[in-house]
């Protein structure tokens, strides 16, 4: 004797499964959030202590925040990081937009091979090329200024930028490009007047991802910005941590100051990231 489930019981069972699945996902996300946010909580609590209070585990104080600027040139180093990030991202965007449009809409010999070579550069880790990069930059005497670090960051970020913009511009209808050319705009006019305004989600995505990566980087800043007056904030914090009499609360305060700009940029533009990163998937 077989028992046939009614449509109502099937719907109830399916609804219960969805509720259980969503509940499990919710608790998993809460657990991940706790794991990710707990270090920031520890940093915040520790920054409001003196060194003695940190060692004893009792008491609070704003002394570490008041003495941070005298211990570490935090404002100058924040300015240095901003200059390096802004210049590097500007180069990445200009090169990425032009190369992406060319790869997507211009037909020329060996175009796919060149594009494959550019995209393959994304797979090369920084640690594998940092020594020859340093040798080449040092030969031109660019290790004592912003230019050397800017060029290295731009070279590292350009392949991803080209890949994303090429994927996006392939979604732009060819008829629109042809109509613009017929109207006398030419390829430059089509790029800057038609294609570029439509690529704002991709521009925001590249800007946010590259800002976070460059701002939080330590290795390039440590090697290619050797002038103490031009150190970024990450290198300044590393030097502070390497001192013999390091104040842990001051180090935590400086770390929070360093992390704040990247967090603000991400939270302000996060709605563009999903849209920008999924461009071309449904093509």
> Can you tell me the mean pLDDT for 103-114?
82
* Same domain for 36 and 92: no
pTM for the predicted model, two decimal places: 0.83
| 283 pLDDT higher than 50 | no
* Same domain for 42 and 137: no
| Positive/negative CA dihedral, 149, 155, 159, 165 | positive
| 90 pLDDT higher than 90 | yes
| 171 pLDDT higher than 50 | yes
* Same domain for 104 and 42: no
**Virtual torsion, Cα 51, 55, 57, 61, nearest 10 deg:** -10
If one counts the domains in the chain, the total is 2
Q: Has residue 183 been placed in a domain?
A: yes
Gap between the Cα atoms of 194 and 173, Å rounded: 11
* Same domain for 100 and 25: no
Q: How confident is the model at residue 227 (pLDDT cuts 50, 70, 90)?
A: confident
Gap between the Cα atoms of 196 and 206, Å rounded: 14
* Same domain for 123 and 19: no
| 275 pLDDT higher than 70 | no
Q: Has residue 55 been placed in a domain?
A: no
- Under DSSP, is residue 245 helix (H, G, I), strand (E, B) or coil? coil
Give the CATH number, domain containing residue 99: 1.10.3720.10
* Same domain for 100 and 32: no
Gap between the Cα atoms of 247 and 245, Å rounded: 6
pLDDT, one tens digit per residue, over 119-142 is: 888 888 888 888 888 998 888 888
Q: Has residue 52 been placed in a domain?
A: no
186 sits in the region (left: phi over 0; alpha: psi -120 to 50; else beta) called: left
| 274 pLDDT higher than 70 | no
Q: How confident is the model at residue 277 (pLDDT cuts 50, 70, 90)?
A: low
Q: How confident is the model at residue 226 (pLDDT cuts 50, 70, 90)?
A: confident
> Can you tell me the mean pLDDT for 5-18?
69
Q: Has residue 282 been placed in a domain?
A: no
Q: Has residue 67 been placed in a domain?
A: no
Q: Has residue 64 been placed in a domain?
A: no
| 219 pLDDT higher than 70 | yes
* 68 or 111, higher pLDDT: 68
Structure tokens at 141: 């005497």
> Average per-residue pLDDT in the chain?
84
Q: Has residue 61 been placed in a domain?
A: no
**Virtual torsion, Cα 178, 114, 156, 125, nearest 10 deg:** 140
- What is the pLDDT at residue 113? 86
The alpha carbon of 60 is separated from its chain's Cα centroid by a whole number of angstroms, namely 34
| 19 pLDDT higher than 90 | no
Q: Has residue 242 been placed in a domain?
A: yes
| 87 pLDDT higher than 90 | yes
Task: Give the total residue count for the chain.
Answer: 283
- What is the pLDDT at residue 18? 83
Closest CA to 212 of 265, 249, 256: 265
Q: What is the CA radius of gyration of the chain?
A: 25
Domain hosting 37: range is 7-47
DSSP labels, 76-93: HHHHHHHHHHHHHHHHHH
Report yes or no: 92 and 158 within 8 Å, Cβ to Cβ. yes
- What is the pLDDT at residue 248? 87
SS3 content of the chain, % helix, strand, coil (to 5): 80, 0, 20
* Same domain for 187 and 143: yes
> Can you tell me the mean pLDDT for 198-203?
85
* Same domain for 266 and 173: yes
How far lies 251's CA from each of 28, 233, 241, 243, in Å? 32, 12, 7, 11
* Same domain for 94 and 184: yes
* Same domain for 35 and 98: no
pLDDT, one tens digit per residue, over 253-264 is: 998 999 888 888
């Amino acid at each position: 004797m077989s028992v046939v489930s009614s449509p109502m019981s099937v719907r109830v069972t399916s609804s219960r499964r969805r509720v259980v699945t969503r509940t499990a996902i919710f608790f998993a996300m809460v657990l991940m959030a706790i794991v990710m946010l707990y270090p920031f909580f520890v940093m915040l609590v520790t920054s409001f202590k003196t060194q003695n209070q940190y060692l004893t585990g009792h008491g609070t104080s704003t002394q570490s925040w008041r003495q941070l600027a005298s211990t570490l040139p935090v404002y100058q180093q924040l300015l240095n990081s901003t200059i390096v990030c802004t210049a590097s991202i500007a180069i990445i965007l200009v090169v990425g937009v032009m190369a992406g449009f060319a790869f997507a809409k211009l037909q020329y010999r060996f175009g796919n091979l060149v594009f494959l070579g550019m995209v393959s550069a994304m797979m090369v880790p920084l640690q594998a090329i940092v020594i020859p990069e340093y040798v080449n930059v040092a030969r031109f005497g660019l290790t004592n200024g912003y230019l050397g670090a800017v060029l290295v960051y731009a070279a590292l970020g350009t392949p991803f930028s080209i890949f994303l913009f090429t994927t996006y511009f392939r979604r732009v209808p060819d008829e629109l490009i042809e109509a613009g050319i017929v109207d006398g705009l030419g390829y430059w006019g089509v790029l800057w007047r038609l294609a570029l305004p439509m690529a704002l989600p991709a521009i925001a995505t590249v800007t946010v991802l590259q800002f976070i990566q460059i701002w939080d980087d330590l290795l390039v800043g440590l090697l290619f910005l050797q002038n103490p007056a031009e150190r970024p904030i990450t290198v300044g914090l590393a030097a502070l941590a390497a001192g013999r009499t390091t104040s842990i609360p001051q180090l935590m305060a400086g770390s929070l100051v360093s992390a704040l700009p990247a967090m603000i940029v991400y939270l302000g533009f996060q709605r563009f990231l999903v849209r920008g990163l999924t461009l071309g998937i449904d093509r």
